[in-house]
Structure 1
Amino acid sequence: MTTLKPNLLSQRDFDLPDEESMVQLAGRLASVCQHSCVIYLQGDLGAGKTTFSRGFIKGMGHKGKVKSPTYTLVEPYEIGPWRIFHFDLYRLADAEELEFMGIRDYFEEDCICLIEWPDKGHGLLAAADLTISIDYTPLGRRLSMLALSARGQSLLEVLT
């Protein structure tokens, strides 16, 4: 279901009954990702942000294990022409730590960034092209994708 939002932003909502459906949706999004982008992942603990990220990274063609960056803050992956960075900022004590790790270098034109808990890096992160919110429902999860840029809009338009 697609709902048009003010300022030409669009949103798509998906009801996902299980983990496998989350992984499949993430893989489909990865398969249509043809340009650099920044994706914010929001939701409560255990909602599925890391599961979605794993599905996306695998969908981009990664064959090995996808590690959670809970303690390292970021896990890098090089897949074809892309550098993919999976951030988990949950344990970030101070947003200024991102400056020390050279956060601006992660937002180049050959980079795709998946950022869990983006509110922890407020003011230092690149703006999101797509925000994904994951909520619990009685039947599984509801995943909402909101396009916040032309790049995010193009992802939603080709996601079937």
Structure 2
Amino acid sequence: MQRVQQLKKLGRRVQKGFTLIELMIVVAIIGILAAIAIPQYQDYVTKSKWGTNISDLAAVKTAVALCMQNNAGDGTLCDTAGELNITALPQPKYATAAIGVVGAAGKVTVSYTGTAEVGSYVYTADWAQDGSGTKLTFASVAGDTIPAKFYPATQR
């Protein structure tokens, strides 16, 4: 209090707020942080939704692996729901339609298109048995348009 009274005696004004320039600097800093954070958050959300789409294929992965083991790796015998012993091919949560499965010698190609909410990217991958014949491997093929940053870490 004494300091304020001393300043008043000297004719100086006591400042009780922020200046315009200080407020503008704070607004600029917040704007810069938002410009960086918002796109990263949107990428995080899209990656999470693609992770959901890919995990929705778990039952099909198991069925394809079992079918290919039982049929000596012949994917042509593992490309319909009936051949995979499942009631229907699933539709991932963020996909426009049920997955498509096309069998070929030694592999099964799986594809579907994501909704606009996840960028309308196309998932296309060849599922094939590894050298031991006990595990499926996944390889993106022509037509797959999902950027690598949206794939789960286990499938990059």
Shorter-chain TM-score category? Answer: under 0.3
TM-score norm. by structure 2 comes to: 0.28
CA radius of gyration, larger in: 2
Point out the structure with the larger strand share: 1
Higher relative contact order (CA 8 A, sep 6+): 1
Point out the structure with the larger helix share: 2
